[in-house]
Amino acid sequence: MSTYLDELNPEQRAAVETIEGPVMIVAGAGSGKTRVLTYRIAYLMDQGIDPWHILALTFTNKAAKEMQNRIEKLVGAEAKNLWMGTFHSIFAKILRIEAHKIGYPQNFTIYDTEDSKSLIKGIIKEEGLNDEVYKPAHVYSRISLAKNNFISPREYEQNAELSETDRASGKPKIGYLYEQYTKRCRNAGAMDFDDLLIKTYELFLQHPDVVNKYQQKFRFVMVDEYQDTNHIQYLIIKKLAAAHQNICVVGDDAQSIYAFRGASIKNILNYEKDYPDLKVFKLEQNYRSTKTIVEAASDIIKKNKYQLEKNIWTDNGIGDKIKVFKALTDNEEGVLVANSIFEVKMKDHLNEKDFAILYRTNYQSRAFEEALRRLNIPYQIIGGVSFYQRKEVKDLLAYFRLAINTNDEEAFKRVINFPARGIGDTTVSKMIVLAKENEMSLWDVAKNIQHASGIDSRGRRTVSEWVVLIQRFQVQVGSMNAFDLATEIAKTSGINKHYFEDKTIEGINRYDNLQELLGAIKEFTERTDIEDKHLGVFMQEIALFTDADKQQIGDDKVTLMTIHGAKGLEFPVVYVAGLEENLFPSQMSLTSREDLEEERRLFYVALTRARKRVFLSFAQSRFRWGQVVYSEPSRFIEEINPKFLDYNQVQPAREREGAFVGKYVVPKPVVNKPIVKASYQAEAAFVAEDVSTLQEGMEVVHVRFGQGKVLMVEGKGEDKKAKILFDAIGEKQILIKYAKMRILN
């Protein structure tokens, strides 16, 4: 019979073989969760269940893809017919099929957070509200909170608690803004991330036939990372599984780290209440980590009050103690970690890809990057600003979006005058007013611009020329393949030219990114597993694509990412950095017990990513917002039983005068030397204007690198200002000696 089942321990095997009825698998870190999930799906298929009757919801696209591959190895190509993906991507797929039933076009746009915020900002301005009071980010988070709890705009305004909170904070109109926002999204044929969930649920509520269809289709439902589902996701799953009750959720309450996104640990803690005949399996043996790591992590998580009872253990060896690095500055932390990676790699004969540096916030990556670069250690950063969020990429994508859905208001506003074609803010504002007055979309106003009042003849001409351009693209969406059309749009829209002509370093980068985007589209059109090669399909693919999905596992590189990004991954050696009070745990989470517990779970996740060794590090001071911030070591270090810690080998931090400690120069009180000097690496050159202000002996107190290519030097005393323009190709640095200042990248 099926040999793969023999690889499982009894508890795992029971979890795999129990396919009928509600099941909950509580899977501790490193307990073989993914294996159980994949085998369970393979087992279902072995039992003769058609793959298209199986729905598996994962947390990231990458997890889905990986699982699909693994299952394919077990059962063959049939695995392709499984419905597997993230909540957002699966529901987007369903919504594309059913959109017309809830008044959306099939080709609806997906607004990302930036689009949503920009729309909200626009509404706030149009309503004549003060955007100091109504900060778009805040309004967005209130709306998102409401959506994730399935509260409609009307319910929001009637909800006593919510309106009380808003009134108390001086923003009574948030409910109204929510309503306007919803309306505008609908008119634009757009859904935001939250809509993908609530519209699905609405669809199910309003159309019994549709629910019935999907309930019959998905006879077996599985949910991975269940501890991180939010209320609306919970509702949808419950609805989908209502008919057959063959629902299996897998999760670990100790790894619930997405409360800020509306995830509720209660979903998993109270799961039994929903299904009285629930069968629970607990996977408690850790196969991943050493005893030291497992026990240290368990100690820590035990300090939390809210959790399911379980006892994680391992048969693995004791392993090394957890080492702590103490650094004076953030830059030194980077150096210590980079040096350690170099050493451990040699000593243990490991590869770069066996190392991960995990941190709480994205901005911490900088110091590590620099230190690693200096040692020539290859690395990759996951997270931060994703490729598809870059300005130039979004510019071009906006043209694509508009060609596909001309009502897409955010795309419209983004590119109507980009590259500049003489359609100014005044004209656009007038068009927005007209659209509102006549209840039309912006696109309709643009189309009928000849009849619009209050727009001068120049505006009329430029707008209608632009409309013709977009209409041409619109027709081509259906006839050309994605790559040909994308190239065509990049050329005729003028975007290509715009960035090609920008010869600054930034501009060159941007141009390269555009070429990379076109390359990705070319790749897409050459894929064999997809039949429809139109641009619309490509856009659907990437709408929910994140940076984490891009990660190249095969590459031999050190991985840098936030702990959130590390969910579901493992590495032989893990560095957990920035263990300072106020940073990790974050100061914003120190106000409530629940928040602190979530931070602790985050720390738990970080530790349990490691197979062999864990290093912790902290910096006594770090640069943050242009200032030095001092902190105490994190309480989490204290919470580890000292017997697991190696605290003695802490390297003393040294600060040498006049030397670089990473990016910053330590001030040295000698001024009898040139102040501004040289360039770094072969091809850099710079021209100083106003040279008189940059003479020997001048005491420079502050240097800033402005946007673009201007370096500003602010003198002391007479408050002199100097301007240095430089033009360089390749990597460059300007070194300014004997001053408290920054060394540029």
Q: 206 vs 361, which CB is nearer to DNA?
A: 361
d(CA 577, CA 494): 45
Given 115, 166, 224, 580, the catalytic residue? 224
Residue 544 touches DNA, criterion: CB under 7 A:
yes
Residue 682 touches DNA, criterion: CB under 7 A:
no
60 is catalytic: no
Which residues are CB-contacts of 345 (< 8 A; sequence separation ≥ 6)?
Answer: 351, 352, 354, 355
CA 492 from centroid of its chain's CA atoms: 32
Return the residue of 31, 68, 86, 340 that touches DNA, per CB under 7 A.
Answer: 86
Residue 88 touches DNA, criterion: CB under 7 A:
yes
Task: Give me the half-sphere count of Cα atoms (radius 13 Å) on the Cβ side of residue 546.
Answer: 17
Dihedral pair phi/psi, residue 316, rounded to 5°: -65, 165
Residue 383 touches DNA, criterion: CB under 7 A:
yes
The region of 171-179, 480-488, 617-625, 640-648 touching DNA under the rule CB under 7 A is 617-625
Q: 228 vs 354, which CB is nearer to DNA?
A: 228
User: Can you read off the two tokens belonging to residue 217?
Assistant: 């289709």
Q: 420 vs 687, which CB is nearer to DNA?
A: 420
384 close to 365: Cβ distance less than 8 angstroms: yes
Q: 15 vs 95, which CB is nearer to DNA?
A: 95
d(CA 556, CA 721): 46
Site for DNA in 569-608 (CB under 7 A): 586, 588-589, 595
Q: Give the per-residue contact string, 473-502, with DNA (x = CB under 7 A; - = no).
A: ------------------------------
The region of 76-84, 342-350, 557-565, 653-661 touching DNA under the rule CB under 7 A is 557-565
Secondary structure E strands in 592-733: 610-624, 627-630, 645-646, 660-661, 664-665, 676-679, 685-689, 700-705, 710-715, 721-727
Q: 193 vs 218, which CB is nearer to DNA?
A: 193
Q: 193 vs 615, which CB is nearer to DNA?
A: 193
d(CA 477, CA 149): 37
Q: Which of 411, 406, 409, 342 is nearest to 378 (CA)?
A: 342
Return the residue of 362, 476, 487, 513 that touches DNA, per CB under 7 A.
Answer: 362
Q: 163 vs 417, which CB is nearer to DNA?
A: 417
Return the residue of 165, 216, 361, 651 that touches DNA, per CB under 7 A.
Answer: 361
724 close to 689: Cβ distance less than 8 angstroms: yes
Q: 290 vs 540, which CB is nearer to DNA?
A: 540
Return the residue of 315, 706, 717, 719 that touches DNA, per CB under 7 A.
Answer: 706
Given 18, 34, 389, 476, the catalytic residue? 34
Residue 625 touches DNA, criterion: CB under 7 A:
yes
d(CA 715, CA 557): 43
Question: What DSSP designation does 320 have?
Answer: P
Residue 546 touches DNA, criterion: CB under 7 A:
yes
The region of 157-165, 279-287, 519-527, 708-716 touching DNA under the rule CB under 7 A is 708-716
CB atoms within 10 A of CB 697: 10
CB atoms within 10 A of CB 338: 24
Q: 182 vs 340, which CB is nearer to DNA?
A: 182
455 close to 427: Cβ distance less than 8 angstroms: yes
d(CA 47, CA 219): 13
Return the residue of 4, 306, 388, 705 that touches DNA, per CB under 7 A.
Answer: 705
Return the residue of 401, 447, 564, 609 that touches DNA, per CB under 7 A.
Answer: 564
Q: CB of 654: closest distance to DNA in angstroms?
A: 23
Residue 703 touches DNA, criterion: CB under 7 A:
yes
How many chain residues interact with DNA (CB under 7 A)?
Answer: 58
Residue 626 touches DNA, criterion: CB under 7 A:
yes
693 close to 729: Cβ distance less than 8 angstroms: no
Site for DNA in 25-54 (CB under 7 A): none
Q: CB of 651: closest distance to DNA in angstroms?
A: 26
The region of 174-182, 304-312, 464-472, 562-570 touching DNA under the rule CB under 7 A is 562-570
Site for DNA in 314-333 (CB under 7 A): none
DSSP string, 518-570: HHHHHHHHT-SS-S--SHHHHHHHHHT--HHHH--SSS--EEEEETGGGTT--
Site for DNA in 247-266 (CB under 7 A): 257, 260-261
User: Can you read off the two tokens belonging to residue 544?
Assistant: 């929910």
Residue 562 touches DNA, criterion: CB under 7 A:
yes
Q: 319 vs 585, which CB is nearer to DNA?
A: 585
CB atoms within 10 A of CB 719: 7
Q: Give the per-residue contact string, 169-208, with DNA (x = CB under 7 A; - = no).
A: ------------------------x---------------
Amino acid at 321: K
Which residues are CB-contacts of 309 (< 8 A; sequence separation ≥ 6)?
Answer: none
621 close to 330: Cβ distance less than 8 angstroms: yes
d(CA 229, CA 262): 8
Return the residue of 378, 478, 658, 708 that touches DNA, per CB under 7 A.
Answer: 708
Q: 85 vs 319, which CB is nearer to DNA?
A: 85
| Cross-strand bridge partners of residue 633 | 580
Q: CB of 196: closest distance to DNA in angstroms?
A: 8
202 is catalytic: no
Are β-strands 676-679 and 734-736 bridged in parallel, bridged antiparallel, or unpaired?
A: antiparallel
Q: Please give the span between the terminal C-alpha atoms of the chain, in angstroms, as a whole number.
A: 61
635 is catalytic: no
d(CA 651, CA 328): 10
Site for DNA in 404-433 (CB under 7 A): 417, 420-427
d(CA 8, CA 5): 6
The region of 479-487, 513-521, 624-632, 637-645 touching DNA under the rule CB under 7 A is 624-632
Amino acid at 223: V
Q: CB of 619: closest distance to DNA in angstroms?
A: 16
d(CA 55, CA 85): 8
Are β-strands 23-27 and 721-727 bridged in parallel, bridged antiparallel, or unpaired?
A: unpaired
Residue 721 touches DNA, criterion: CB under 7 A:
yes
Which helix (H) or strand (E) covers residue 23, if one does? strand 23-27
Q: CB of 678: closest distance to DNA in angstroms?
A: 19
Given 157, 225, 320, 598, the catalytic residue? 225
34 is catalytic: yes
d(CA 23, CA 11): 13
Are β-strands 627-630 and 610-624 bridged in parallel, bridged antiparallel, or unpaired?
A: antiparallel
Q: 74 vs 145, which CB is nearer to DNA?
A: 145
User: Can you read off the two tokens belonging to residue 180?
Assistant: 């306007």
Return the residue of 710, 716, 729, 730 that touches DNA, per CB under 7 A.
Answer: 710
Given 12, 33, 195, 321, the catalytic residue? 33
Give catalytic residue positions: 33-34, 224-225, 255, 609
Residues of the shown chain interacting with DNA in the complex, contacts defined by CB under 7 A = 59-60, 86-89, 113, 121, 135, 137, 193, 257, 260-261, 360-363, 383, 417, 420-427, 459, 544, 546-548, 561-562, 564-565, 586, 588-589, 595, 623-626, 702-708, 710, 712, 721, 723, 741-742
